[in-house]
Copies of this chain bind each other. A is one copy, B any other.
């Protein structure tokens, strides 16, 4: 099975770092400069949910822009599809209308745009708005492509042989729970669950004592495929509508007891938090990099996972941060503690390989389906995407400037994930925050 090798996203004037927006406070914005233009669903104060575009510290009302006749052609068709309370219909359209919308928005929001006076009233202060999930999620699948994470976790179970034999052949993934995915800012309730303490003969039921985070990227599926019709690796990019941050909260004590033989279940389905903006493939084009060379001796991917363009530029160089704010740090007026800094370069499989593998047996992906990469850890203790890695399973706590220490998360702790593409000669493109605070378990 061979496929034509299609070029990936190209750079155009929308990526020009010299491009400036007339929207105040946008120049040099760490997340949402005019080169980003991510899509989401928001409610303005006293307003109903609608589609919007993040620009600096503002949100542009997309249906209002359409009603004002400021979008036409393919861009108008894209905005037309974004008139519901979820972006599924827009995601379904694929790349061409999405790119047309990006080009039109870039022009309308650029310095010198003559329509500025008509557009300015359609902007809302982001801080005053409520962000929602950007689409109705059909199915959620979580992968396991962070090889350092897989090794770190594997070492705790199998010190001599941390990676299972299939890891370098199969983009390992499993189905997750869509109903409990929430946008950034929604508190997370500590789950009760069944676990068996290492020294106990019998399991018990109670609040999780080993609550953890997982640093992941999320993938929003675009057009998708019919049941029974695989997606060739060379076309997989066409089915990705964008990306966000994902914190796949995990209860390690519940996980250890329940996960054999069918995988994690209640340990992961009590909550997942995502950043609410869909950062498009176009916005991330400057941060494309070749897939990391596999170490000598690693197997070549099977043909259904191998594509020259994907090898050349299917990976991303996006820096990732995990920050922890605790009640103690907050009380002392201290900044959040940085648990780790990682990078999407540490993915062993590309996004396209995840998509092609998922559909390789005929499983149908649908607009608004959601994929997680799995935890993206880098090498070293300061690059771990979860506490179970950073504390070696709770054996070596993290010490904070407040005098507190953490093995796992405590009530009142808040985790903040960040992702940014940073490249010399380009504007920085960020994902916005993915944050949530831990609430105590129900009585």
Binding site for B on A (CB under 8 A): 1, 138-139, 141-142, 144, 164-166, 169-170, 172-180, 182, 189, 191-194, 196, 202-205, 208, 227-230, 251, 254, 257-267, 269-271, 299, 302-304, 357-358, 360-366, 369, 442
- 18 example contacts (A-B, Cβ-Cβ < 8 A) are as follows A139-B139, A144-B262, A164-B261, A172-B261, A172-B265, A173-B265, A175-B265, A191-B361, A192-B360, A192-B362, A193-B360, A205-B303, A228-B442, A259-B263, A262-B263, A266-B360, A266-B361, A267-B361
For the complex, what is the distance from the CA of A172 to the CA of B202, rounded to whole Å?
16
For the complex, what is the distance from the CA of A267 to the CA of B179, rounded to whole Å?
23
For the complex, what is the distance from the CA of A362 to the CA of B211, rounded to whole Å?
14
- Specify which of A204, A228, A267, A302 lies most central, judged by the most chain B CB atoms within 10 Å of its CB: A228
For the complex, what is the distance from the CA of A358 to the CA of B194, rounded to whole Å?
11
Interface contact A189-B362, CB-CB below 8 Å: yes
A227-B182, A260-B166 are contacts. A174–B174 as well, Cβ < 8 Å? Answer: yes
Give the residue of B1, B191, B203 whose beta carbon is less than 8 angstroms from that of A302.
B203
Interface contact B302-A266, CB-CB below 8 Å: no
Give the residue of B1, B144, B266 whose beta carbon is less than 8 angstroms from that of A358.
B266
> What are the residues of chain B within 8 A of A270 when measuring CB–CB?
227-228, 361-363
Interface contact A180-B442, CB-CB below 8 Å: no
Interface contact B262-A179, CB-CB below 8 Å: no
> What are the residues of chain B within 8 A of A191 when measuring CB–CB?
361-362
Interface contact B179-A366, CB-CB below 8 Å: yes
Interface contact B251-A192, CB-CB below 8 Å: no
A175-B176, A366-B179 are contacts. A192–B138 as well, Cβ < 8 Å? Answer: no
Least distance between A441 CB and chain B CB atoms (Å): 9
Interface contact B175-A174, CB-CB below 8 Å: yes
Least distance between A187 CB and chain B CB atoms (Å): 9
Least distance between A20 CB and chain B CB atoms (Å): 42
A169-B203, A170-B194 are contacts. A139–B177 as well, Cβ < 8 Å? Answer: yes
Interface contact B266-A364, CB-CB below 8 Å: no
What are the 4 closest A-B residue pairs judged by CB atoms, nearest first? A263-B263, A191-B361, A175-B175, A189-B228
Residue of B nearest to A182 (CB): B227
Residue of B nearest to A360 (CB): B192
Give the residue of B178, B228, B366 whose beta carbon is less than 8 angstroms from that of A138.
B178
> What are the residues of chain B within 8 A of A227 when measuring CB–CB?
179-180, 182, 189, 270-271
> What are the residues of chain B within 8 A of A164 when measuring CB–CB?
260-261
Residue of B nearest to A158 (CB): B261
Interface contact B174-A369, CB-CB below 8 Å: no
> What are the residues of chain B within 8 A of A303 when measuring CB–CB?
205
Give the residue of B174, B205, B299 whose beta carbon is less than 8 angstroms from that of A304.
B205
For the complex, what is the distance from the CA of A386 to the CA of B244, rounded to whole Å?
40
Interface contact A180-B251, CB-CB below 8 Å: no
Interface contact B369-A179, CB-CB below 8 Å: yes
For the complex, what is the distance from the CA of A304 to the CA of B141, rounded to whole Å?
29
> What are the residues of chain B within 8 A of A304 when measuring CB–CB?
192, 205
For the complex, what is the distance from the CA of A204 to the CA of B1, rounded to whole Å?
12
For the complex, what is the distance from the CA of A227 to the CA of B251, rounded to whole Å?
16
> What are the residues of chain B within 8 A of A172 when measuring CB–CB?
258, 261-262, 265
For the complex, what is the distance from the CA of A361 to the CA of B263, rounded to whole Å?
16
Interface contact B258-A192, CB-CB below 8 Å: no
Interface contact B261-A262, CB-CB below 8 Å: no
Least distance between A25 CB and chain B CB atoms (Å): 35
Interface contact A361-B179, CB-CB below 8 Å: no
Residue of B nearest to A228 (CB): B189
Residue of B nearest to A144 (CB): B262
> What are the residues of chain B within 8 A of A142 when measuring CB–CB?
262
> What are the residues of chain B within 8 A of A269 when measuring CB–CB?
175, 361, 363
Least distance between A124 CB and chain B CB atoms (Å): 27
Interface contact A302-B179, CB-CB below 8 Å: no
Residue of B nearest to A357 (CB): B266
Given contacts A192-B362, A262-B263, 11 further A-B contacts (CB under 8 A): A138-B179, A164-B261, A170-B194, A172-B262, A174-B264, A175-B269, A189-B362, A191-B361, A191-B362, A228-B270, A270-B363
